[in-house]
Amino acid sequence: MDIIPSFDLLDGKLVRLRQGDFEQKTEYDASPLELAQELEASGIRRLHMVDLDGARSGRPANLHILAEVAARTRLQIDYGGGLRSIPSLKQVWDAGAMLFSVGSVALLAQDEFRAWVEKFGPDRFLVGADVRDRQLAVHGWKEQTDVSVFDFLKDMFKLGIKQVSVTDIERDGELSGPSIELYRDILKAFPDIQLVASGGISDVADLEALHGLGCAGAIVGKAFFEGKIPLKFFSIFSKA
């Protein structure tokens, strides 16, 4: 299981939002490049980069940070935020991302998303499902849908998508523990899925539980930045 630190970028700085709320923001002083190099040295292989400026503006806005980290580390970076068109995907690809991290578009613009998958291939996408009560929320979690996460994942499988991240919105940034039952049910329904857990991860015990379920990865944000999970533990699960 890969531990995947999350770099949420706003105005070129590392931040964390509580449940996606821009008004509940915590800034961190660390340099994205220096921290990425430290993570790589510790054995981390992947990085989740979220362009919050891009999410608000509709086009990637932190490509310079992506390009610098991609050029000076060997981390496999998935990049999301502002990916609204094939040209924006190409920009991100050219800057060094290995995976496109997309969410709402996969549900709300299915024909367009299908064209993206046909052009770049399903293995280039990490599709994010943000859920509340097992139903998808879109547009930065502000709009609740009645679409079941299980129906959504079934549609993604039809397109050949295997890598998905599932975030329990109500646990995000709360350090309240991950949605173990939800992930267990998803893995039971889709045994071939490469499931990346996200939201609520607070300590090493949470990582052990997700590893035991068979998750392919776990995105860690607040717990890492606030020292709840020491860096020395990150590579243990990647080697397991």
Distance CA 149, CA 167 (A): 11
Active site residues per annotation: 8, 130
* Distances 24 to 4, 15, 132, 217, 227 between C-alpha atoms, Å: 23, 10, 19, 26, 19
**DSSP track, 70-88:** HHH---EEEEESS--SHHH
Among residues 106, 190, 181, 123, the alpha carbon closest in space to that of 150 is found at 190
Distance CA 177, CA 124 (A): 29
Alpha-helical regions (H) of the chain: 32-41, 52-57, 63-72, 86-95, 104-108, 110-120, 149-158, 180-189, 204-213, 222-225, 234-239
Do residues 175 and 200 lie in contact, with contact meaning Cβ atoms separated by under 8 Å?
yes
